[in-house]
Amino acid sequence: MKISFAFLVSFLLIGLSSCFKGESADYVIHNGKVHVMDLDGKIFDAIAIKDGKILEVGAERQILNKYSADEYIDAQMKDVYPGFTDAHGHIMAYAKQKLGVDLLECRSYDEMLVRLEKYQGKHQREFIIGGGWDQSKWNKTEFPSNEDLNELFPNTPVCLIRVDGHALLANDCLLKKSNVIEEVTNNPEKYVGGYCEYKDGKPTGIIVDNAMNPILEMIPDYPKKEMTQAITQIQNELFGYGITGVHEAGLTRSEVIYLEQLIDKEVLSLDIYGMLLPTDKNIEWAKKNGVYTHENLLIRSFKVFADGGLGSRGAFLKASYSDRHDHFGHLVTNVEKMQEIASICEKIGYQMNTHAIGDSTNRLILEIYESAFGKNTDHRWRIEHAQVISPSDIDLFEKSGVFPSVQPTHAVSDQHWVIDRIGADRLKGAYAYNTLLQKRGMIAIGTDFPIESTDPFRTIHAAINRKNSENKPMGGFLINEKITLDECLRGMTTWASYASFQENQLGTLEKGKDATLVIFTRPIEAHTTYQPNFSYMTFIKGKKVYSVE
Ligand SMILES: [Zn+2]
């Protein structure tokens, strides 16, 4: 009896003392390793959160004594980081990919046909769309043709988009329905850079870059309900990896409206920095609205496609492709149009974020940017991918302050064939993330999902070891261009937030910023082999959006 009385007294005393503790908080996360990601790389034990913001970060006792929280979370000595941002991804394309036929990792044309048959048996679509095939995984260098596809689907249009999004395979039914061959043949100026492949005078069904437009424009939308389900799934996948923000690289006007609806319905809580495609509708809208915020959606940039990809030999090079004589690739948007977009961006305070893969394109874009910049020196205009750059042009990044936005997994995915395309000499300025970082002082890091996996730990491994998730190649691909773990983490946090003008809300765990953070299941360390890792708990603006439990 005496013992329980003493227990009761001490219990009351503790209770009273916590009532008298100064300030109230929604959450206190303690007993963790809280990585602030500020300039000096401070690490604390605890963090207090209220109304979506960080109240304070500090030592265990300091935070526990000062705050009385609705909920205490013991981080069990786990790493706590600012939520990761994927600085270049495609949520809409990923959702569509999930609803179509998944052809990623297909090891042969026949396997692709089997997957198509299975899918159609289940879904009975009137228009079949698939994506993710890559003939280099079938040990073929040349593109496939559509003969077997025609046999399997004589009356249903089928559109199969290559993994890089720069080529597609259409069956004859779709070629006929879209009239793409005639359209492209009769209007070459409208489809500059694009082409349809032929074999023995007959179209093979392969359509490259701009020539894909007549087909892409007629692809029907999936039902809204299915899209919403897919986007919810993607958001959970991202939260599970500790990703709390995405720089969505290319939105139409109707996609922006749709994302706003998802935000209003509280389906979408991910931070989204949406880059607008330079369509007439978007340009008109941007001129009227300028820098625009709708809850967790921020719009202040245009995404421009300047050239194609290296895989489909569409990237625009200064000298001929090493594996195709007299072929240089091509621009997919003409110079005048890009200059026009640049001057609009300059006028309305938008960033111009341009997809540039080839060395010729990178040089051209740096020049277009340079001549468009007005008095504003804090423009943060970006080059997305910045993949092959002449060493002599790399200094321009330093001079102009143009921001490289790179995807380290691309380097290790392309390792098997890129030397065929561009030869050993041009590899010196390819996937040169360390050089770019040293020049510019910052890089933004993303994955380009769904071309690559959303897994940021593959990105970390590719960036710091220059290896893929199978730990290949042994010595690392272009190993001199590796960056450190800390630099990679900054590319996904602090520097990514700077690349989107969000450094005042996001990117570090400092007082007053959004309580957007992740507790990771395993320690984040520089390993020499790929180490999967996942979120233990993810918060966005002080709201728990994901937990392993
Ligand atoms: Zn992309």
| 307: CB partners within 8 A, 6+ apart | 193, 314, 315, 316, 329, 330, 331, 332, 355, 356, 357, 358, 360, 361
| 269: CB partners within 8 A, 6+ apart | 235, 263, 296, 540, 541, 543, 545
Q: Residue 341 maps to which CATH number?
A: 3.20.20.140
H or E stretch at 423: helix 418-426
CA of 491 to the centre of ligand 1 (A): 17
What average pLDDT does range 518-522 have in this prediction? 98
With 0-12 / 13-18 / 19 or more C-beta atoms within 10 angstroms meaning exposed / middle / buried, residue 365 is: buried
> In the listed set 31, 49, 77, which residue is the last one of a domain according to the structure?
77
Q: Does a structural domain hold residue 168?
A: yes
351 and 202 in a single domain? The answer is: no
Q: Does a structural domain hold residue 507?
A: no
Q: Does a structural domain hold residue 307?
A: yes
For residue 7, what pLDDT is reported?
52
H or E stretch at 491: helix 485-492
211 and 342 in a single domain? The answer is: no
Give CA separation, 268 vs 130, 230, 233, 308, 543, in Å.
Answer: 25, 12, 11, 31, 13
CA of 211 to the centre of ligand 1 (A): 18
CA of 97 to the centre of ligand 1 (A): 14
Q: Does a structural domain hold residue 207?
A: yes
Per residue in 338-385, pLDDT tens? 999 999 999 999 999 999 999 999 999 999 999 999 888 899 999 999
Give percent of the chain with pLDDT exceeding 70.
Answer: 96
What average pLDDT does range 172-183 have in this prediction? 97
For residue 18, what pLDDT is reported?
47
What average pLDDT does range 399-422 have in this prediction? 95
What average pLDDT does range 286-313 have in this prediction? 96
CA of 93 to the centre of ligand 1 (A): 10
pTM comes to: 0.90
CA of 358 to the centre of ligand 1 (A): 15
For residue 22, what pLDDT is reported?
82
**pLDDT-wise least confident of 26-30, 111-115, 373-377:** 373-377
Our count of domains for the chain comes to: 3
127: Cα within 13 Å, side-chain hemisphere: 14
Residues paired with residue 538 on neighbouring β-strands, in sequence order: 518, 546
Beta strands 243-251 and 33-35 are: unpaired
> In the listed set 184, 216, 248, which residue is the last one of a domain according to the structure?
216
Whether the predicted pLDDT of 45 surpasses 70: yes
55 and 115 in a single domain? The answer is: no
What average pLDDT does range 534-540 have in this prediction? 98
What average pLDDT does range 56-73 have in this prediction? 97
Per residue in 435-471, pLDDT tens? 999 999 999 999 999 989 999 999 999 999 999 999 9
CA of 295 to the centre of ligand 1 (A): 24
CA of 165 to the centre of ligand 1 (A): 9
CA distance 189 to 194: 10
What average pLDDT does range 116-131 have in this prediction? 95
Q: Residue 208 maps to which CATH number?
A: 3.10.310.70
CA of 249 to the centre of ligand 1 (A): 6
For residue 17, what pLDDT is reported?
45
Question: What pLDDT band is residue 4 in, cutting at 50, 70 and 90?
Answer: low
364 and 460 in a single domain? The answer is: yes
For residue 28, what pLDDT is reported?
98
> In the listed set 216, 238, 260, which residue is the last one of a domain according to the structure?
216
Per residue in 316-325, pLDDT tens? 999 999 999 9
Whether the predicted pLDDT of 397 surpasses 50: yes
Give CA separation, 481 vs 400, 436, 455, 465, in Å.
Answer: 22, 9, 21, 9
**pLDDT-wise least confident of 142-146, 488-492, 512-516:** 142-146
Q: Which domain holds residue 14?
A: 2-77
For residue 13, what pLDDT is reported?
44
